[in-house]
Structure 1
Amino acid sequence: MSPAARASGRIAGPAATAPGAGAADRLSRLLAMVPWLLERQGVALEEAARHFDVSTDQLVTDLELLFVCGTPGHMPGDLIEAEWESGRVYLGNADAIARPLRLGQDEALALLVGLRTLADLQGVEDSAALEGALAKLSAAAGDAVAAASSVQLDLATGADTGVLATVRGALRRTRRLRLRYLTAARDETTDRDVDPVRLDSRDGHFYLQAWCHRAQDVRSFRLDRVVTARELDEDGTPPADVLAPELDDRLFVPGQDLPLVVLDLAPSARWVVDSYPLEDVAPSPRARAGQEGPWLRVRLRVADDAWLRRLVLRLGGAAVVVSPPGLAGELASAARAALAHAARVEQ
């Protein structure tokens, strides 16, 4: 593309409202446009616009986007070249996507299994898009469809199948759930009415993220700790702000009713601050000779003592339990037992 043409280009902003300007439609059009234009170098702008059922202004906007796309590297030689100032369209440096993508049977199988698993996890807001993608992929995947039907991913251990089915049904129908839930940290069972938001799988367990009417806040419920689940004949739409991205993407939302633990972290354990939801972070008075940088004192709410024990033992001397004192003693005993076991194994 000539320097003049590149200098005169502009990226379309929100004002681009021509037909077909939706993000999904536009992406599909761009992927089809590149091989079509490469085979018809010098095609008139009007003819290309007519073929893709858009205005010439929208076609130019698409071309302007194309020439800031390319392969990784982001250097001029990595970008697609587009020229249209003469009223005719020329493309270059786009061989990587000159032909439509073709999936191998193994790739199609993996994608089908993954999409079906995702459909089991997601809430009702994603189901239509997933079903559409599955239908299109199944129609094109041939023999991989039968193979995918025989593959079942076991993502959860310990969750009652009836509870799981009830939760999925409530998500699909946007219904409120009544849960009888075991809180492991307090060895207490409570009844809660919740409006389900989404279902996730992590580390071999299913978690239901929901608006809890008892806590008046977002809570995350591990399904293997749900004793019973019953779908109620009430609308289960959560408050609008519950679906805000900053809440929607967090698997664990700690509540104020959970036990508070205070840890001192060495510089090598600072990754904990970025990895887990904390109440606060402050400088710690603790320091040890030979270690660079200050220690941090963090406060976090813990729903599972076993998880905390694993974390502190994993960190070794880089973490010290400040409170509660009883938990510090338990962890010290667990560490001594682990060292004694390791010594016996080495003998």
Structure 2
Amino acid sequence: MTAAQDRLPRLLALVPYLIARPGIRIEEAAADFEVTTKQLRKDLELLWMCGLPGYGPGDLIDISFDEDTVTVTFDAGMRRPLRLTGAEATALLVALRALVDTPGVVDADAIRRAVAKIEVAAGQAQPAGVAVGLGVREAAETVKVRESVQAALQAGRAIRMAYYTASKDEVTERTVDPMRVLIVEGRGYLEAWCRRAEAVRLFRLDRIDELAVLDEPAAPPPYAEPTDVSAGLFRAAPDQSVARLVLEPDARWISEYYPVEDVEELGAGRLRVSMRYSDTSWIVRLLLGLGGEVSVEEPPHLADELRAQAAAAVTRIDRYLAAT
């Protein structure tokens, strides 16, 4: 573990530690954190410049320390325990579960204890626009997929799998060279070199089926670059159309399963979203499957196509019933 990785947890723990021990001797605090007194003084000087946005005199942490003792005189709100929203808690749980089986993790038992504590806290939390404890927990099938993917990564093996592409509504067979497993926006992904596409691709773990770890070694080409997900996963393309949809409560899952923008709560469980699409026939099939649980506000030609397809389907059903 690097010095920076060691220092951040120590800085986060220092303020509540010092608040509980006003006037503690610097040597004693340094011993508790297993650092030198020189390092602890550097940490205290850094904390002195930390605080809430604004960074005026009333916003920064205020620490009084001399040659022997140290006292926090203003904590800038850091004495309050960290409170996670339901979405944050479930995303953190998914990330921790993925991390616990990752090769090279120093203390897997500590991660499992953290998972147990977060699950208890999330279960006791009050809802805040999300369903705590019911959100992003992996299904049993996805857990098996993740474990197989991690085994392939650890062994340096290629993978053959069936993968469902939601935007095209199709399942394809692929052979891929795994590069890493990552969590983006609360969901697990395999990043790999796809031999079919001849490019780096991100595959959602819950859309992978019939996975097999091959005997042949994984060999991503040297020019395969990891995907930049710092600004999120979805990238809008200039040739995509945008549909503005109103989702009834039973269709809200669309906003979680597909990339959407401009999410607006309408009350009574209804949601207005903007959704990008490249294939009109695909989005028409998707919306037809939702029946009366979705309405199209824009664009007009999509609403017209949806009505025409629905009317044609009703006509075919009437003819079939009349013939039987």
Category of TM-score, reference length = shorter chain: 0.5 to 0.7
- 1:171 corresponds to 2:150: yes
Partner residue of 2:45 out of 64, 88, 93: 64
SS at 1:28's partner residue? helix
- Tell me the distance in 1 between the aligned counterparts of 2:206 and 2:16: 50
SS at 1:195's partner residue? strand
The equivalent of 1:198 in structure 2 is 181
Q: Deviations over 1:11-56 (max 9, x none)?
A: xxxxxxxxx9723432333344334434554555445434433233
Displacement of 1:61 in angstroms is 1.3
Q: Is the 8 A contact 2:44 2:63 kept in 1?
A: yes
Q: Is the 8 A contact 2:89 2:118 kept in 1?
A: no
Count of paired positions: 264
SS at 1:134's partner residue? helix
Unaligned runs of 5+ in 2: 125-131, 245-258, 261-275, 288-294, 312-324
Displacement of 1:58 in angstroms is 1.3
Displacement of 1:118 in angstroms is 3.7
Displacement of 1:93 in angstroms is 0.9
- 1:211 corresponds to 2:193: yes
User: TM-score under structure 1 normalisation?
Assistant: 0.51
Distance 1:164 1:178, change over 3 A: farther
Q: Is the 8 A contact 2:146 2:205 kept in 1?
A: no
CA RMSD, 1 decimal: 5.6
Distance 1:254 1:241, change over 3 A: farther
Distance 1:193 1:156, change over 3 A: farther
SS at 2:39's partner residue? helix
- 1:135 corresponds to 2:112: yes
Displacement of 1:227 in angstroms is 5.8
- 1:26 corresponds to 2:7: yes
Distance 1:242 1:40, change over 3 A: same
The equivalent of 2:217 in structure 1 is 235
- Tell me the distance in 2 between the aligned counterparts of 1:126 and 1:303: 43
Counting only pairs closer than 5 Å after superposition, residues 288-299 of structure 1 correspond to structure 2 as none
The equivalent of 1:92 in structure 2 is 73
Q: Which has the higher strand share?
A: 2
Q: Is the 8 A contact 1:254 1:301 kept in 2?
A: no
User: TM-score under structure 2 normalisation?
Assistant: 0.54
Counting only pairs closer than 5 Å after superposition, residues 151-166 of structure 1 correspond to structure 2 as 161=141, 165-166=144-145
- Tell me the distance in 2 between the aligned counterparts of 1:306 and 1:181: 19
Distance 1:69 1:307, change over 3 A: farther
Question: Which structure would you say has the larger Rg?
Answer: 1
How many percent of aligned residue pairs carry the same amino acid?
31
The equivalent of 1:81 in structure 2 is 62
SS at 1:83's partner residue? strand
- Tell me the distance in 2 between the aligned counterparts of 1:217 and 1:132: 37
SS at 1:78's partner residue? coil
Displacement of 1:89 in angstroms is 2.9
Displacement of 1:152 in angstroms is 8.2
- Tell me the distance in 2 between the aligned counterparts of 1:308 and 1:47: 67
Q: Is the 8 A contact 1:210 1:219 kept in 2?
A: yes
SS at 1:49's partner residue? helix
Displacement of 1:65 in angstroms is 1.4
Partner residue of 1:332 out of 295, 301, 304: 304
Q: Is the 8 A contact 1:34 1:97 kept in 2?
A: yes
Amino acid of the structure 2 residue aligned with 1:137: A
Unaligned runs of 5+ in 1: 1-19, 267-274, 277-298, 321-327, 340-347
Amino acid of the structure 2 residue aligned with 1:60: R
Q: Which has the higher helix share?
A: 1
Amino acid of the structure 2 residue aligned with 1:25: D
- Tell me the distance in 1 between the aligned counterparts of 2:22 and 2:183: 48
- Tell me the distance in 1 between the aligned counterparts of 2:113 and 2:143: 28
- 1:52 corresponds to 2:33: yes
Displacement of 1:217 in angstroms is 0.9
Displacement of 1:81 in angstroms is 0.9
Q: Is the 8 A contact 1:155 1:206 kept in 2?
A: no
Q: Is the 8 A contact 2:152 2:158 kept in 1?
A: no
